[in-house]
Amino acid sequence: MPTRRLIPAVSLSPVTPSLAGGEPRVSKYTASYTSGWTVLQGVGHVRVFPDPDPTWSGSAWVNPPPSAPAGSHFMRWTARSLPDPATTGTGGEYPLGIRGSADGTSGLPSGCGNWTSQGDFTLNWNSDYPFKPRVASYTHHGKDGTTVKTPIAVHFHPHFVQHMWCDFGTVLNMPFTFMVVAVFTRFHRVNDIQNVLDGGRDPTPSIDSATRLAWLSHGVPGRRKLPLETGVNLLGYRTALRVHPERMVGFNDQSPTTRKARVPYAHSLRPKVIFGVYNGNSSFFGVYGNELKFPGLASIRTVKLSNLGAQRFAVLGRQNGVIDTDKSSSMVVFEIRCWDAALTTDQLDQHYRQMASTWRFVEHT
């Protein structure tokens, strides 16, 4: 008869770690407050400021944005205008782009079909499968253990070369200005580049449906040149804003050599505002938010750019001319602002102040 033996079992109940210095740690002793706090609002106590974010009524700004050049037109894309992913889509997220049966998005609300601007012109950032970015919440984990949650943000990932495209018509005729609020979430190598903005068109007419469906299932392999943007069909311009771990680059030539602005950039997972003022010989580019610095302390570089006429077609999240995972972006975008005029540094500072407050820059440690 076999002998039955008893083997002792040990079970462990792991303790929920705390974040300290950006790393999960388990302390020997954990203390917490057991009593409540009462906070008083008013003079001599806590001061409460309203959210400075501009509100568009459909015909006018209820909470006007800061100043801009006289006679200029203002367009703004904010993640707050998109349907809430907590109550839309599946699992707290949904693809942003043309709704259809191929990727199971035909039942989504109409607001999930594109990213529409608020302001003087109605312009849409569009996308289609398999290139649609995700709309989901974004949580920042600070080095001091704090977290900041943004309920709605637009996430771009290189596995599917997620990107969007927009036809600006004649709006981007010099001078014009772009400001983009984003977090750049990953650099694989020291020479990685995040392609934020560039010249480009809808790539789907040059990619057959079978290929797009295969990419939707497995991701985008290799590199595909786009005939709508290369060879004899060159656009002739690049509305380019790029981010490298150590610098941000702006230019507009199809094949730039010397006409580039190289702006010092210190990579971190805190949100940044990058901007470009495209204004011929008086063009300049810059970055706000590297070290939680506030207005007047942006890194800025000037450059002389050619006037190439209306830079009509633009893409968000990939490089001009190609579909390639190495030429796309890992980023989370909160807001884009655009003017058909050249903003001054003082005006850029004012808009940065508003965006830094709206998107809670100071809380991102």
Please tell me whether residue 365 adopts helix, strand or coil conformation: coil
Give me the mean pLDDT over the 277-287 stretch. Answer: 96
Q: What is the pLDDT of residue 293?
A: 46
Q: What is the spatial distance between Cα 363 and Cα 295, in angstroms, rounded to a whole number?
A: 17
Residue 292: its pLDDT value, please? 43
pLDDT tens-digit profile of 212-264? 999 999 999 988 999 989 887 889 999 999 999 889 999 999 988 889 999 99
From first CA to last CA, the distance across the chain in angstroms is 66
- Calpha distance 23→269 (Å, rounded): 14
CB 240 within 8 A of CB 320: yes
Residue 87 has pLDDT above 80, yes or no: yes
Q: Which helix (DSSP H) or strand (DSSP E) does residue 345 occupy?
A: helix 345-358
CA distance 118 to 73: 11
Query: Does residue 295 register a pLDDT over 50?
Result: no
Per-range mean pLDDT, top range of 54-58, 126-130, 353-357, 359-363: 126-130
As a whole number, mean pLDDT of residues 105-109 equals: 97
**Region of residue 97 (left: phi > 0; alpha: psi -120 to 50; beta: else):** left
Average pLDDT, the chain: 89
* Average pLDDT value for residue range 173-201: 89
Distances (CA, A) of 249 to 153, 256, 298, 362: 24, 11, 14, 25
More confident residue, 149 or 142: 149
Average pLDDT, stretch 318-333? 95
104 phi-psi bin (left φ>0, alpha ψ -120 to 50, beta other): left
Amino acid occupying residue 95: P
Phi, psi angles (nearest 5°) of residue 345: -65, -35
By the 10 Å C-beta count (0-12 exposed, 13-18 middle, 19+ buried), 357 is classed as middle
Query: Cα–Cα distance between 212 and 16 in angstroms, integer?
Result: 43
Phi-psi region at 231: left, alpha or beta (left = phi > 0; alpha = psi -120 to 50): left
User: Which of residues 189 and 17 earns the better pLDDT score?
Assistant: 17
Pick 322 or 297 by higher pLDDT: 322
Closest-CA residue to 228 (of 204, 261, 250, 259): 204
Copy the structure tokens of residue 332: 């989370």
Query: Is the pTM value of this prediction over 0.85?
Result: yes
Q: Residue 200: which residues within 8 A CB-CB, separation 6 or more?
A: 165, 226, 229, 235, 313, 314, 315, 318, 319, 320, 321
In whole angstroms, give the CA distance from residue 312 to residue 191: 29
Tokens of 319: 């490089």
Cα distances from 211 to residues 106, 216, 219, 321, in angstroms, run 20, 9, 10, 18
Q: If one looks up domain 74-363 in CATH, what number appears?
A: 2.60.120.200
| Alpha-carbon span 228 to 96, nearest angstrom | 23
Question: Which pLDDT tens digit goes with each residue over 12-36?
Answer: 677 777 665 556 677 766 666 666 6
pLDDT computed for residue 63 by the predictor: 87
Residues listed for the chain = 365
Cis peptide leading into residue 109 (ω within 30°): no
Is pLDDT above 70 for 39? no
Q: At a CB cut-off of 8 Å and minimum separation 6, what does 58 contact?
A: none
Residue 20: the pLDDT is: 59
CA 280 to CA 304: how far, in whole Å?
6
Looking at residues 173-181, what average pLDDT do you find?
A: 97
Distance CA 127, CA 99 (A): 10
Are 215 and 333 in contact by the 8 Å Cβ rule? The answer is no
356: its two tokens: 């830094």
For residue 191, pLDDT over 90 is answered with no
Written as one letter, the residue type at 168 is F
Q: Does pLDDT of 176 surpass 70? A: yes
CB 132 within 8 A of CB 162: yes
More confident residue, 315 or 234: 315
Percent of the chain with pLDDT over 70: 85
Statement: residue 291 has pLDDT above 80 = no
